[in-house]
Every structure is written in structure tokens, then in C-alpha cells.
Homo-oligomer: A and B are copies of this chain.
């Protein structure tokens, strides 16, 4: 583990960790295909794999839409938890924004609005998270721990619920239990 500050540094992913992008996917899908898919139906799979094959391309394209990243809901408990963590740790938001250039400005505005206590100097947009130096990475994609030298915490999201052999955090209360005691 790299020790980057007295307290340590935590890098936090955005989508499905602090920002409810899955909710946006489900809303657009319901509006356009008339079927409301529930989060419980996505246990262990992505929405792409849960819809009929002929809808997949459309669903994959949602994040490229201009409005996709605007006004996403906040994942429950995340604001309070990150505020509490920021008293003890250096907090960075690290998001693979490079995949979706239309997300650059909305993500920046969203972080400022919901996490005003985290300075813009601590926002990171990247593609490959192995470039991040931190003690802890909280992320819903296990692949992002490949090449990461610190402690990876898999934040529970429907698509990853069946994964094993990785340290998991169920929700933000669980993160605080682990990192603030």
C-alpha cells in the first residue's frame, strides 16, 4: 500500500458509487421501450444483458446522449459518508470519464453541487485507473483494481452482486464502518 499522506488517500469512483447512473439507464429504457426493469432483476448482470438482444445497441448508446449525465441522483448516504471520510482522509474522485466526452462538464458540475467540500484539484478523469495513486479505491468494477496498488473495495451494485474473492462494501454505512473506526 502506498502511503500518500498521514491519513491516507481514498479514490472514489462516480457511476454507481456516488452517482446513480443505473437509475438513469432504467428511466430511459422504461420511457423508450415501455418496460420498467427493476434493480432486483439485474442481480449479477448488466442492463445490456438483461434486455432483448435487439435493444442492446440502443442501451449501450445511452451514456453518449447529451443529457445522460445531467442531474443524476446521489447514491444514498454517499454525501454524508464522504464528508465524514474527508475529515480523516484525502478524498479524490476518480472517474473513467474519458470514455464519454459528453460527461466531462456534467460530471464536473455535479461533483461541485453535491460534494462542495471536495476541491476541484481532487477530481480525476481517466480511462485506466491503474494510473491512480491512492491507498484505497472504492469502485463498482473489479477490473479497475487490476494494477491498482492499494486496497480495492468493491462497492455493491446490481451487476457485481455475484462476484466473490474481492473485498466488498455493501453501502456507504459499511464503508464508514471499515474506514472510520
Contact = CB atoms under 8 A, between A and B. Distances in A.
A122 B133 contact: no
Given A97-B125, A104-B108, 11 more contacts: A2-B149, A4-B130, A11-B131, A98-B121, A101-B108, A121-B128, A124-B127, A125-B126, A132-B132, A133-B133, A133-B149
A125 B125 contact: yes
Please classify the interface of chain A as helix (H, G, I), strand (E, B), loop, or mixed, using the class held by over half of its residues.
mixed
Number of chain copies forming the complex:
2
A155 interface: no
A115 interface: no
Contacts of A147: 4
Interface string A8-40: 010100000000000000000000000000000
A92 interface: yes
